[in-house]
Amino acid sequence: MIEKTLKTTDGNLLVKIPTALNEVTLGQMMEMQEKHYLNDIDAISILSGIPLKELNNVTNFSDFQAFGNSVHSLSNQIKYLYNSDAIPHKVTFMLGKRKVTVNVIRNLSVEPAGAFMAARDIIADEINETIKLHGEEHWQEHFHPSLKACCHLLAHYFFCRATGKKYDEYEAEEFCNEVKKLRVTEALPIAKHFFTCYPNLLKQKIGFFQRLHQYWRRRQVFRRLKNLNTSTR
């Protein structure tokens, strides 16, 4: 953590930002990724939790240079984190005043069917987007799922075991707010595991609809034949 007191138009402002990824939450990284034009002051605002309007009142712009190197260092560290296979064995959520520790199980199929299907669709959608950009032959070389997709996948994955509730799609989506509080060094490797180990879910999703289409076609043919037989009697 790096901290510095900056002079503003109406006093002093203590600014603290992390210098290592294990001090950054998934939510903070998501907020930075979702900004189309992220400058250093935007990043400092997100990482420090200080509103942008307060930082805009700092009297000397060069004071921000003390944080600039940390911001750029974090952006480089996130690239390496995508390549990390160090999956934590446990994660901890603070649900109100209650601390809940959840074991990380590397198998989506052990989750409720609803959670599995939601995760499958999230994975398939991200893969499809990458295929659109880079083609079917090269998509895996360029595949970096968005942090937003990672958050949604983990929300469905952890919801039941963290809350003890039965699976509910809408409540699982709301659980994203808790997932955002995880350290990005915890959340991203877990999500990456599912995105990289379950690319066949894309084929399963397509295959299901193909089979359904074939089923309906067979039923339609059967009905036509049945009607034909009835009319010729």
Asked if the structure places residue 231 within a domain, the reply is no
Where on the phi/psi map is residue 160: left (φ > 0), alpha (ψ -120 to 50), or beta? Answer: alpha
Q: Which of 76-90, 133-147, 161-175, 204-218 has the highest mean pLDDT?
A: 161-175
Does 158 lie in the same domain as 111? yes
Q: Does 75 share its domain with 154?
A: no
In a domain, 225, yes or no: no
Half-sphere exposure in the Cβ direction for 127 (13 Å, CA): 23
Could you tell me the two tokens for 57? 């009142």
Q: Does some domain include residue 150?
A: yes
Residue 194 and residue 97 share a domain = yes
Is 144 or 67 the better-scoring residue by pLDDT? 67
Please check whether residues 189 and 94 belong to one and the same domain: yes
The one-letter code for the residue type at 129 is E
Instruction: Please give the distance of CA 70 from its chain centroid, rounded to a whole number.
Output: 23
Kindly state whether residues 97 and 176 are assigned to the same domain: yes
Sign of CA dihedral 224, 225, 230, 233: positive
Domain presence at residue 223: no
Tell me if 71 is assigned to some domain: yes
What's residue 199's pLDDT? 56
What is the rounded average pLDDT for all residues in the chain?
A: 79
Are both 143 and 180 inside the same structural domain? yes
**pLDDT at position 196:** 75
Residue 226 maps to a domain:
no
Range of the domain at 25: 2-81
Residue appearing with tokens 């659109």: 132
The Cα diameter of the chain in Å comes to 96
Share of the chain above pLDDT 70, in %: 80
- Asked if residue 233 is part of any domain, the answer here is no
**Residue at 119 is within a domain:** yes
Structure confidence at residue 217 (pLDDT): 47
Tally of structural domains, the chain? 2
- How far apart are alpha carbons 150 and 162 in whole angstroms? 17
Q: Where are the alpha helices (DSSP H) in the chain?
A: 26-34, 40-48, 52-55, 65-81, 113-134, 147-163, 169-174, 176-179, 184-197, 200-231
pLDDT in tens, 172-209: 999 999 999 999 989 988 888 888 776 555 444 444 33
Phi, psi (5° rounding) for residue 89? -80, -25
Q: Are residues 54 and 104 in the same domain?
A: no
Average pLDDT over residues 94-99: 88
| Residues 77, 191, 119: CA angle, nearest 5 degrees | 150
β-bridge mates for residue 90, sequence order: 103
